[in-house]
Amino acid sequence: MAKATLNGTILAETDHYEVVEGNVYFSPESINRAFFQTSDLHTTCPWKGIASYYDIVAAGQTVKNAAWYYPNPKAAANNIKDHVAFYGMVKVER
């Protein structure tokens, strides 16, 4: 079981996740979409591809670009397609 929280608000919880480079990637169906807003930010990883980002709006605050995912990953990272990972301000437990 993995769980992601921000100031006590549960953002994601699942038994189905992947760990890549030390980051927990939550399955797309496990995130509570009410707290996620699409960001305009995109970055590129040489082996995973182009990452898209979400702002998190929860617990009375907005955290810009707090989560990322790969909508069209390169073949080597296909196991994390659409899975969501979080930056350090979000507490991830497993």
SS (H, E, C) the chain: CEEEEECCEEEEEECCEEEECCEEEECHHHECHHHEEEEEEEEEECCCEEEEEEEEEECCEEEEEEEEEECCCCHHHHHHECCEEECCCCEEEC
Question: Tell me: the pLDDT tens digits for 1-56?
Answer: 999 999 999 999 999 999 999 999 999 999 999 999 999 999 999 999 999 999 99
* Cβ count near 67 (within 10 Å): 24
Confidence of residue 75 (pLDDT cuts 50, 70, 90): very high
CB 78 within 8 A of CB 57: no
Query: Could you give the number of structural domains in the chain?
Result: 1
Could you give the CA distance from residue 88 to residue 65 in angstroms, rounded to a whole number? 11
The pLDDT assigned to 78 comes to: 98
Structural domain boundaries, residue 56: 2-93
Q: What's the CATH number where 10 sits?
A: 2.170.150.40
